[in-house]
Structure 1
Amino acid sequence: MTNDRTRPDLDDTTVAALGKLSEALETVDQARGFLYAFHQLTGKADRLLQESVDLFDEAGAAQLAADLERDLVGRNVIAERWTFQIVEDFDENYWAAFRGYDARAREQLAGGDRHVLEARMKQRERTAGHPAHEAGPALTD
């Protein structure tokens, strides 16, 4: 990493490309968060379903309880997978590859520096010398 996060040695197109890749990865990170939420919500739904099965059985609706337990409790949410398997597959085969390419691009083109586009934007948009507009680490006034 350099001392100047704005990387004046890089052309604007390279910085834009790194910024778009970073933004894409951030979007994938958001999708991953939703995937984990889906995983947790589906697990919660299955536990609630199990409670309803017990209550239906207690209420005398034994056949309905048995059918729900047989057909829905513990069911795969997609072919051959529970949600933990979906999350693991996503992490290992997509998210990891995406992160790897982001790291490769940053290392290859910007010496590992992250958020060069944003560092340039901060320098452009802040008011130098104004309190609360300080340059901060690895940026200059």
Structure 2
Amino acid sequence: MADNVQEEEARGPRRHERPPGMDDATVEALGLLSQALETTQRARGRLYDFHQLTGGADKTVGEAVHRLREAGHGEQADLVEREVQGTDVLPGMWTYQIVEAYDDGYHRRFTQVERQVRAALSDGRDHIAEAEMKQRRKTT
């Protein structure tokens, strides 16, 4: 029951308020942890870019192989097809497997640990440092 109340408060109107007794050092540390997690979100997006760009390149390679054959360059088409088209980008892995490994491993673990730390130190509240910065910078 306490966890549900804690989660409700973390999502409610007090979501970004510093809990009573929380010191500046803790707010700063949680802000840094949050910033690091946000950076991993950006890295994750880059992995999806990598996945989609590499897949698009492989599709274009397939078209190049087709055109090389049409132009009478079967030996070169065979080389490109054998060595590049549809091959692993890392040993034993296509790009979707790299994305899955990141999502299922490091990123999931980091997300869970960040949530656990916030639950333990700030009643699950997030972006406390940013909310306080907003208040300090707010003009009337």
Q: 2:46 & 2:73 partners in 1: Cα distance?
A: 36
Q: Hey, what's the Cα distance between the residues in 2 that align with 1:7 and 1:87?
A: 35
Structure holding more helix per residue: 2
| Superposition RMSD in Å | 1.2
Percent identity, aligned pairs only?
Answer: 45
Q: After the TM superposition, list the runs of 4 or more consecutive aligned residues in structure 1 that deviate by more than 6 angstroms.
A: none
Whole-Å separation in 2 of the counterparts to 1:85 and 1:54: 27
Q: Is the 8 A contact 1:56 1:64 kept in 2?
A: yes
* Distance of 1:86 and 1:26 partners within structure 2: 19
Amino acid at match of 1:123: Q
Q: TM-score, normalised by structure 1?
A: 0.87
For residues 9-61 of structure 1, the C-alpha deviation after alignment (integer angstroms, 9 at most, x for no partner) is 21101100100000000001101100110000000000000000000000000
The Cα shift of 1:8 comes to 5.2
Structure 2 equivalent of residue 47 of structure 1: 59
Please say if residues 6 and 117 of structure 1, whose CA atoms lie closer than 8 Å, have aligned partners that are also in contact: no
Q: Which residue of 1 aligns with 2:80?
A: 68
- 1:81 corresponds to which residue? 93
Structure 1 unaligned blocks of 5 or more: 131-141
Q: Which residue of 2 aligns with 1:113?
A: 125
Task: Choose the corresponding residue for 1:28, options 35, 40, 50.
Answer: 40
- Asked whether 1:7 is paired with 2:14, we answer no
Partner secondary structure for residue 73 of structure 1: coil
The residue identity in structure 2 corresponding to 1:11 is D
Q: Which amino acid is the alignment partner of residue 110 of structure 1?
A: S
How many aligned positions are there? 128
Contact 2:19 2:123 in 1 (8 A): no
Superposed displacement of residue 6, structure 1: 2.8
Distance 2:93 2:29 in 1: 36
